Structures are given as C-alpha cells and as structure tokens.
Amino acid sequence: VIIVAGGSGSRMGLQIPKQFVVLGDKPVLMHTIQAFYNADISNIILVIPSSHKEYWNDLREKYSFEIPHVIVPGGLFRSASVSNGLDAISEEDAVVAVHDGVRPFVSRETITRAFEIAEQDGASVPYLDISDSLRKIEGITNKPVDRDRFKTVQTPQCFRLWMLKKAYKIPQLPSFNDDATLVEMLDVPIKLFKGNQENIKITTPFDLIIAETIISKLQEA
Amino acid sequence: VIIVAGGSGSRMGLQIPKQFVVLGDKPVLMHTIQAFYNADISNIILVIPSSHKEYWNDLREKYSFEIPHVIVPGGLFRSASVSNGLDAISEEDAVVAVHDGVRPFVSRETITRAFEIAEQDGASVPYLDISDSLRKIEGITNKPVDRDRFKTVQTPQCFRLWMLKKAYKIPQLPSFNDDATLVEMLDVPIKLFKGNQENIKITTPFDLIIAETIISKLQEA
C-alpha cells in the first residue's frame, strides 16, 4: 500500500498537519498504517513531504511506533507523490493500494476486499451510498438527481501494479487526485464495492470531532 | 415550520423510533423543536403517527417539555404527513419550512437564512459540499463526475405557503420525499444556500454515535 500524507494542514486551522494530530493513543497517520498492518498488508510505503520526515521520525520514537514502512518523499501534487511511491516498488507483478493518510478508520474488511477484488478484476474502489437528497448545479440553476445512481468513493483504491504504473505515464493535470479516474483512461473498468462508513477523510475541525468519537468507540469495543 | 417525524425506527435496530431516542438531556425530537423555537420560529406543527401521540405526551411530561406546538397525525407516506401539516395552517400568506424531525442540529443561522431567502425568492434549500470523490452508476459500469457540480441537500426546505400548497395538489408518487422537487414542478426555481455540517439526519446507529458527540460538544460550548 502507498499511503499518501502530503497535506500541510492549512484547511484545519491547526498548527500541525492533520495526519499528525493525536487521536486516542497516537497520531492519525499511525492509526492508518496500523489498519493496513492489522489487515496483513506488511509492504507499506509512506509518502510524506521531505520537510516532515524529521518530525515523523521524532513521533515514531515518542510513540514507540514499530510497524515497518518505507518512507518516500512527496511531490508538489498528490499525483507526484503517488508516482514517487510507485517508483519505490521493486516487484514486477503485484496488487497495489493507494490510500489517504488521513483515513485512519478504514476497516480490515474494506482493505481485504479491495485487494481481493483488484487481484481478480484489476481495479477496485470502495463506495458509500448518499443519504441526503442530491442536486446538480447547472449554471445559476440546479435540478434534482437520483441519489441512488451516485456513490461517494473513498480509498483504498486498489489496482494491479502494471495498470497504475501505466496510468501514471499518461500526461495529466498536475492537480489530478483520483487514481481510479486515471486508470480508467486505459479502458480498465473500475469495480466498486461497499466500503465502511467510519472510513472518513479527516479534513475539517468537524471531521476531527467525529474522529475522536470513532476512536473512543473503537477502543471501548 | 412543519416538523415531520413519522419514522418507525426500523432501520435503527432499536426498540424506539429514532426521533424519541434520548440525546444528552432529552429526546431527539425535542432538540429539533427547540432549534426552531430558539430561532424565533414559534408556530410549530409536529406531524407524528397517531399511534405515537400518547407516547409523545408521556415524554413531554417526563422531560417537562414546555415549548408549544400543534400535533397533527401523520399519513402512510411522508407526502401525506406534510399535506396534513399544511392543512393545519390557517394563515393565507406565510412562509413555511418543512423539516425532518431527526435533524436536531440545524443551526439558528440555517433556519434564519432558509426563511429569509424563501421570503424573498420563494423557495430555499440548504446544501452541503461533497468531500469525497463522486461516481455515477450506469448499468453495470460507473464513471467519475465532478463533485463540485453536485450538492447534498438537507432540511429545512422553505417555501411561500401558496407554492407548497399548490405543489401538494399535483398528483404524485406516494413515496415522494423531497419537497423542493415537488415545488419545482410549478416552475419555481429553488434557491440553494450553504447549510451547517452538523445538520445530520439520524438514520443509522453510526449517525447516533455522531449525534452523541455533537450534543456533548454543543453542551460544552
């Protein structure tokens, strides 16, 4: 798995980037890494900005965090970060997942299914249903659309290695941030599967409040 | 405001319907009613199934809940419930909001803006941005869509009274559950405005966990 944690935390209004915020007993990013390790994914590549590496190493020491992982420097955009992560994979044939560092609550089942489906079908992405009504903006007006036909998608997005490598050779917009959309340009169909609702992306202060609740419920259980 | 609370709670896996679940110091539905009362909306119509009326009256006594409201019996479908609520309004000219009973965290600002915009433009609906990537299901395949062009919408949905009354005279599908979509059939444009992120609809056990966190944060503040 390539775990991408390049955020500067500017949207959080916090001093430290959100992947380093402590949730329960350790920083967000350690929960994320542990989720994959617990799901028997031991080949973990962490992509962080070079400027964060020393801080991360200090955190690892402080929290006695022992799960092995390879650290790769991030790029200016997410796509460059994923690309750097891909370059760090030595295998010729493999299944690779790309996961947001700020999604610490991905379940073991979501991870396992992502890898199983990609192994079989080439490309897998977890989705969730939309519970509110949905409208589409059209210029200055808007119209209702059938929410059952739309799904939000999360990570891990999982692919056969050659596909993702090939997709990242397509000239692309620098701000590209959805790997499935890129792989799809190779005419590879994306297999959606139901993800887990707790697998939120921690972006806003509200998300962080929700995250604190999830962690305390998980630690009770 | 017409507050619709007709749910049977069957999706919650709980003994009591979700509008009656206690959050913090009182049941969900009392928080919802209070939100409108605190936003200076004192004409409150509560639509609940006839079979829940006695239970509701017992709760009101138990929690010494004094905010005045008119109780109207619900119908088999949400549309029938809203229609019954409309029949209980004696004014000829007014602005009316329809709100889900299980959205207790609607903010004062969301309520105020809903009424102000509907007063001026006829029809208003709060929206939120979608933070995950979005895909559209097309048969057995799916494709990416631009999430910035799609918004989830919540309640209160607010309208000039004559519009909503007229819309509810259109023959409709019994399971119709979005008032804005109905009003739009009259060629009335719907004005969207940004809602508040805490204004979740409590539907699943996970939502209830989130709701418990929001209530405790609100009570700290």
pLDDT in the model for residue B15: 62
CA separation for the pair A177, B133 (Å, rounded): 9
- DSSP code of A134? E
CB contact under 8 A, B151 and A137: yes
| B206 vs A contacts (CB less than 8 Å) | 197-198
According to DSSP, the residues that pair with A159 across neighbouring strands are A96, A123
pLDDT at B217: 84
Backbone angles phi, psi at A58, to 5 degrees: -60, -45
Mean pLDDT of B106-112: 98
pLDDT at A7: 65
> What distance in Å separates residue B23's CA from the closest CA in chain A?
15
Q: Residue B4 and residue A211: Cα distance in Å, rounded?
A: 30
Phi and psi (nearest 5°) for B157? Answer: -100, 130
Predicted local confidence at residue B218, as pLDDT: 82
Closest A-chain CA to B176: A133
Q: Closest to A142 (Cβ–Cβ): which among B134, B136, B190?
A: B190
What mean pLDDT comes out for the span B16-45?
A: 95
C-beta atoms of A201 and B131 within 8 A: yes
* Locus of tokens 């609370």: B5
Sequence-separated (6 or more) residues with CB below 8 Å from residue A61: none
C-alpha R_g of chain A: 17
What is the rounded average pLDDT of the residues B192-205?
A: 93
Q: For residue B142, which residues of chain A lie inside 8 Å, CB to CB?
A: 151, 190, 192
CB A193 within 8 A of CB A126: yes
CA A178 – CA B83 distance, rounded (Å): 44
Hey, is A12 helix, strand or coil? Answer: coil
**Per-position DSSP letters for B158-200, written without gaps between them:** EEEHHHHHHHTTS---TT---HHHHHGGGTPPPEEEE--TT--
Q: For residue A197, list its beta bridge partners.
A: none
Beta-carbon separation of A178 and B133 below 8 A: yes
Q: Where are the beta strands (DSSP E) in B59-132?
A: 70-73, 95-100, 123-128
Residue B130: per-residue pLDDT: 93
pLDDT in tens, A142-154: 999 999 999 999 9
Cβ distance of B134 and A145 shorter than 8 Å: no
Please count the other Cβ atoms lying within 10 Å of the Cβ belonging to residue B111.
24
Alpha-carbon dihedral B210, B211, B214, B220, rounded to 10 degrees: -120
Residues of A with Cβ-Cβ distance to B190 under 8 angstroms:
135, 142
DSSP codes joined into one string, B126-140: EEE---SEEEEEETT
CB contact under 8 A, A209 and B213: yes
B100 vs B5: CA distance, rounded Å: 7
Q: How far is B140 from chain A (nearest CA, A)?
A: 9
Q: List Cα–Cα distances, B130 to A150, B59, B153, B172, B197, in angstroms.
A: 12, 37, 10, 29, 11
CB A206 to CB B198 under 8 A?
A: yes
Res A12: pLDDT: 44
The region, left, alpha or beta by phi > 0 then psi within -120 to 50, assigned to residue A112 is alpha
Q: Which of B137, B153, B192 sits opposite A151 (nearest CB)?
A: B137
What pLDDT score does A176 carry?
60
- Of all residues in chain B, the one with the smallest CA distance to A136 is B150
pLDDT of A172? 67
Mutant choice from B78, B135, B202 vs A, greatest count of A C-beta within 10 A: B135
Separation in Å, CA A214 to CA A25, A65, A155, B124, B154? 13, 21, 18, 33, 24
Q: Are B89 and B160 in contact (CB under 8 A)?
A: no
Least-confidence region, from A46-50, A113-117, B54-58, B205-209: B205-209
- pLDDT at B175 exceeding the cut of 90: no
Cα torsion B10, B14, B17, B18 to 10°: value is -110
Q: What is the mean pLDDT of chain B?
A: 91
- The phi, psi pair for B48, rounded to 5°, reads -135, 155
Residues in A touching B130 (Cβ below 8 Å): 130, 152
Dihedral, B110, A146, B160, B101 alpha carbons, nearest 10: -50
Q: Which of B23, B78, B150, B188 to mutate to test the interface with A (most CBs of A within 10 A)?
A: B150
Encoded tokens for A12: 């959080």
Distance CA B189, CA B180 (A): 9
Among A110, A150, A173, A208, most B C-beta atoms within 10 A, so best to mutate, is: A150
In the structure encoding, which two tokens stand for residue B10, read together? 């069957």
Please list the pLDDT of chain A residue by residue as tens digits (221 residues): 999 998 665 544 456 788 999 999 999 999 999 999 999 999 999 999 999 999 999 999 999 999 999 999 998 888 889 999 999 999 989 999 999 999 999 999 999 999 999 999 999 999 999 989 999 999 889 999 999 999 999 999 999 999 999 998 887 665 566 899 888 888 889 999 999 999 999 988 889 989 998 998 888 87
**A2-4 and A95-100: which strand pairing?**
parallel
Q: What are the chain A neighbours of B203 within 8 Å (beta carbons)? A: 131
SS3 A23: strand
| Number of cross-chain residue pairs from A and B with Cβ atoms under 8 Å apart | 108
Distance between CA B204 and CA B9 in Å, rounded? 9
Residues of chain A whose beta carbon is less than 8 angstroms from a beta carbon of chain B are 125, 127-128, 130-138, 141-145, 148-154, 177-178, 180-181, 184, 189-190, 192, 197-198, 201, 203-204, 206, 209-210, 212-214, 217
Q: What is the ipTM of this complex?
A: 0.88
Q: What is the pLDDT of residues B113-168, one digit of tens each?
A: 999 999 999 999 999 999 899 999 998 899 999 999 999 999 999 999 999 999 98
pLDDT, mean of residues B30-56: 96
Q: Counting Cβ atoms within 10 Å, is residue B177 exposed (0-12), middle (13-18) or buried (19+)?
A: middle
